[in-house]
Amino acid sequence: MESTVIGVRPRNQFFLLAVPIYTLGMHLLDGFFRSPSVEPLFSDAAAVQAILDFEAALARAQARGGLISGSAAAAITSSCRADLFDLPSLAQAMPAAGNLAIPLLKQLNAIVGRNSPEALRYVHFGATQPGRARYRPWFFNCAMRFARSKTI
């Protein structure tokens, strides 16, 4: 089998050696295992957009529940577009942060802060550990109202 080295990742402090990226040439079977039509779903931009979709949905839900203003939710939602983010910078910051959320939220805060400083304090509002503790009764009451409305 033929392997082709596409590139070598920069040295990562969590690995002893630089890790090469390999692809396995399987031209006869590629049609069974991959499709160009689904490749965009697995891109870095798609992964970032999925997280941003959560952040936008969180802000809209909080606005509907009266926890934040509609204008703050609109400002956050309009900033939740992957094309506004520096993906190479996220990739570089992620190993030190230990996850993608921390550097992504830093970038989201910067974008929201430039567009709507008053909405900045509501980015990821209530979704962090201290926020969950403080707003747990509110979230619980909302969840119970939702569950009661869906009972048959």
Quote the CA–CA distance of 43 and 151 in Å, as a whole number: 39
pLDDT of residue 17: 47
The fold adopted by the segment(s) 44-125 is Fumarase C; Chain B, domain 1 (1.10.275)
Is residue 9 predicted with pLDDT exceeding 80? no
> What average pLDDT does the chain have?
79
Quote the CA–CA distance of 76 and 120 in Å, as a whole number: 8
Which pTM value belongs to this model? 0.65
Quote the CA–CA distance of 4 and 78 in Å, as a whole number: 41
| Mean predicted confidence (pLDDT) in 64-83 | 96
pLDDT confidence band for 66 (50 / 70 / 90): very high
SS3 state at 113: helix
Contact 106, 90 (CB under 8 A): no
pLDDT confidence band for 21 (50 / 70 / 90): low
pLDDT in tens, 85-138: 999 999 999 999 888 999 999 999 999 999 999 999 999 998 865 544 555 565
